Amino acid sequence: ANSKIPITPGTYENIEALAKHCNSCNRCPLGQTRTHAVVGRGNLRAEIMIIGEAPGKNEDETGLPFVGRSGQLLEKILASVELSTETDIYIANICKCRPPENRVPTSEEAAACKPYLLEQIRLVDPKIILLTGATSVKGLTGDKRPITKIRGEWLEWEGRLCMPIFHPSYLLRNPSKEKGSPKWLMWQDIQKVRDKFD
Ligand code: URA
């Protein structure tokens, strides 16, 4: 399970098998310091998938993505347009293991973990993918543009609709809700997603 045998489309029959593999993975150094691999949560048949960056402390402890402060804010934003991670959404991350001190994962770490993400996308088969923050956009699509330039834009990746949005942790650092503020822009973006989903 810890080998670097290629993971190709169809390697995993389901998310459980993938998760089992992630929990014994050592394809990158993050495997040595994790408590739990954080694979995903939400509806495995969801039409919307949200992809974050990497687990933080709470996520590493629980094995579930977006359960800390960022996650609480994300749930609130989704609830404001009547979307819920229990019914409408599946959430995952670019990296399944927590980087020390919550640093940004390196491109090597993101690349090592990408086959898992690609299998997750194949298995969940979402219509819409929301990418939170530049690391997530770069990790999936390779697009290196700053998030402020591309958030709210519909992009196409491998035949799927994707939208870069701000990372909730960025919104926690920028609490203003004034017109034009990051929170205000996020609200515009999430409404566009809601409209597409309806
Ligand atoms: N931030 C992320 O990007 N992912 C998580 O799972 C938690 C916080």
Average pLDDT, the chain: 96
Answer yes or no: are the C-beta atoms of 40 and 65 closer than 8 Å: yes
The pLDDT tens digits for 90-111 are 999 999 999 999 999 999 999 9
65 Cβ closer than 6 Å to some ligand 1 atom = yes
**Percent of the chain whose pLDDT exceeds 70:** 98
60 Cβ closer than 6 Å to some ligand 1 atom = no
Q: Give the DSSP letter string of the chain.
A: --S-PPP-TTS-SSHHHHHHHHTT--SSGGGGT-SS---EEE-TT-SEEEEES---HHHHHHS-SS-SHHHHHHHHHHHTTT--TTTTEEEEES-SSPPGGGPPPPHHHHHHHHHHHHHHHHHH--SEEEEESHHHHHHHH---S-HHHHTT--EEETTEEEEEE--HHHHHH----STTSHHHHHHHHHHHHHHHH-
Distance 49 CA to ligand 1 centre (A): 14
**Atom of ligand 1 minimally distant from the CA of 38:** 6
Give the pLDDT of residue 135.
97
- The rounded distance, in Å, linking the Cα atoms of 59 and 64 is 5
Answer yes or no: are the C-beta atoms of 189 and 165 closer than 8 Å: yes
The pLDDT tens digits for 21-37 are 999 999 999 999 999 99
59 Cβ closer than 6 Å to some ligand 1 atom = yes
Q: What is the mean pLDDT of residues 52-79?
A: 98
Strand order from edge to edge, sheet including 160-165: 40-42, 89-93, 48-52, 128-132, 160-165, 155-157
- The rounded distance, in Å, linking the Cα atoms of 136 and 133 is 6
Nearest Cα residue to atom 8 of ligand 1: 66
pLDDT for 3 beyond 80: no
Quick one: pLDDT band at residue 139, thresholds 50, 70, 90?
A: very high
Quick one: pLDDT band at residue 2, thresholds 50, 70, 90?
A: low
Q: What is the mean pLDDT of residues 62-73?
A: 98
ipTM score assigned to the predicted complex: 0.92
pLDDT for 49 beyond 80: yes
**Atom of ligand 1 minimally distant from the CA of 67:** 7
Q: What is the mean pLDDT of residues 70-95?
A: 97
Q: Could you tell me which residues come within 8 angstroms of residue 167 by beta carbon, excluding any fewer than 6 positions away?
A: 52, 53, 70, 132, 133, 135, 136, 147
**Percent of the chain whose pLDDT exceeds 90:** 96
pLDDT for 197 beyond 60: yes
55 Cβ closer than 6 Å to some ligand 1 atom = yes
pLDDT for 138 beyond 60: yes
pLDDT for 192 beyond 90: yes
